[in-house]
Amino acid sequence: MATLLITGAAGRIGSALRPRLLAAGHSLVLFDAREPDPPVGDGERFVPRELHDRAALETAMIGVDTVVHLAGIPTEATWDDIVETNMTGTKDVLEVAAANGVLRVLLASSIHAVGFVAEEHDAPSSVPGDRLPRPDSYYGVSKAVMELLGSLFVDRFEMSIVSARIAAFAPERPHSRRARWVWTSADDLARLVEVTVGLTEPGHHVVWATSRNSGSQVDLTAGERIGFRPVDDAAAVLSDEEFAAMPDEEMRWLGGSMATQPLGEPAP
């Protein structure tokens, strides 16, 4: 089993992954400015620092096999904040990982890196996981930059990096209309972490980190090439009646409403 460093471990995704990765037998190093909830338990170590604290990153990296980089601003924000946290923060994590010989990394990219691709629900499996970026926001730009940093560090340091385009993450079941096609379950994301832990050859893999949702526009082939085979399906846990009762959403682009809100301003 591996020792995993999770940055942003107190966030929604980190909190959902923790019990799943512990149950799989891994040891965890939790890195976040906030205390994790539930509190740190057996098999876990907590480093309470901000992402820009290089000394703390060095400490957190001790004994680590794989990094799961989740930390960052999770939505639209000002350009300066996005650059400092999402772009420079990712660069720092990769620099410290490479310097410490930690060569396997999962980067939490996003559907918003390709958020201005048109949604076409009559064209299933039409958007490959490694499609060129078409961001919908400054946030989306930061995720495209994250992917480019992944490519750079693979080429420079022969690392194994997965840039995981996470979509509508919800641990147990989807909570929106768009998630009917782009839901990411916690179990399937944990499966992608396991795939990353098992990588042995250098390479950069840009993949859809979504579940296997019926009729989805996303093409899971890029992930399948490295052994990622999600199994959950939004259609199996969301009835037609529940879907019909959900509020309408922006459905013209993969990025949903992020593609229409003002640049640099968080959603209301």
Is 0.85 topped by the overall pTM? yes
Residue 114 and residue 188: Cα distance in Å, rounded? 21
Q: Which of 41, 40, 45, 78 is nearest to 60 (CA)?
A: 45
Write the pLDDT tens digit of every residue in 67-122.
999 999 999 999 999 999 999 999 999 999 999 999 999 999 999 999 999 988 77
d(Cα 146, Cα 155) in Å, to the nearest integer? 14
CA 10/CA 7 separation, integer angstroms: 8
Rounded to whole angstroms, the Cα distance separating 119 from 138 reads 20
Q: What is the pLDDT of residues 195-243, one digit of tens each?
A: 999 999 999 999 999 999 999 999 999 999 999 999 999 999 988 888 8
**Residue 83 DSSP symbol:** I
Residue 142 pLDDT > 80: yes
Q: Is 138 a catalytic residue?
A: no
Residue 189 CB neighbours (<10 A): 28
Over residues 169-193, the mean pLDDT reads 93
Q: Could you say which of 31, 116, 138, 139 is catalytic?
A: 139
Tens digit of each residue's pLDDT (9 = 90 or more) over 9-45: 999 999 999 999 999 999 999 999 999 999 999 999 9
Q: Which domains does the chain have, with CATH numbers?
A: 3-259 (3.40.50.720)
**Confidence at residue 1, expressed as pLDDT on a 0 to 100 scale:** 87
